[in-house]
Amino acid sequence: MIINYETLVNKKPVVYIVKNIDPTPQDHQYTPPTIWQNEATGRVFIMVKKEAFENPIKGFYLRKVMCFPVDRSIVDATAIKTAMRVLNEGYNLGLFPEGTRNRDGYIGEFKSGAIKFALKKKLPILPAYIHNSHLLTPPGKILPRPAKMSVHFLPLIDTKAMLEEGKTEEDILKLLHEQICTKGSEVAGYDVRVSAPKQES
């Protein structure tokens, strides 16, 4: 189920920031590449950790759906140049703000790098929350399991207006995190922040 897909605007480029999910074809209908490429206007190039490309089959799939690798252990100049070229050419960019795949459904802190491209270009950010993505492949499981998932797109964050109002990078990152956590908590029925008390299975 996709909620509020009408917020996938015609205006571009846009930086999509989505709560992490494995972007490989474990549940092809709900992986971010499929969602964005089918619903969004224009292409979306997605930055994915380089480790996901090490498996030849996964790597082939990821490149087919316009993903490109980033080395998270360094300041990856190649990935940065690729991301900037994507935006300069008028395409959309997709990023995962936690920097690693979410395994338990809770949302951790967002890395500041997730919004730097949007701020540098003063582009809008489209936040999204994917509910139950962690149930596809629980810890210790290799094969995917059936999971009832939903994708919730949130209102655009106008970074240009916020910067003109004197808001800082920290302010915008905090707003982004709060919006996604609030939507996640609303959908899940409990506080999804990683600092919150955990729900019993």
In the predicted structure, residue 175 carries a pLDDT above the cut 50: yes
Q: Cα dist. 18→7, 68, 135, 157 in Å? A: 14, 16, 17, 13
Place 196 in a pLDDT band, splitting at 50, 70 and 90: low
Domain 2-188 is of which CATH architecture? 3-Layer(aba) Sandwich (3.40)
Domain boundaries, the chain: 2-188
Place 5 in a pLDDT band, splitting at 50, 70 and 90: low
Say what the pTM is. Answer: 0.82
Place 65 in a pLDDT band, splitting at 50, 70 and 90: confident
Whether the CB-CB separation of 12 and 89 falls below 8 Å is answered with no
Q: Which residue has the higher pLDDT, 79 or 114?
A: 79
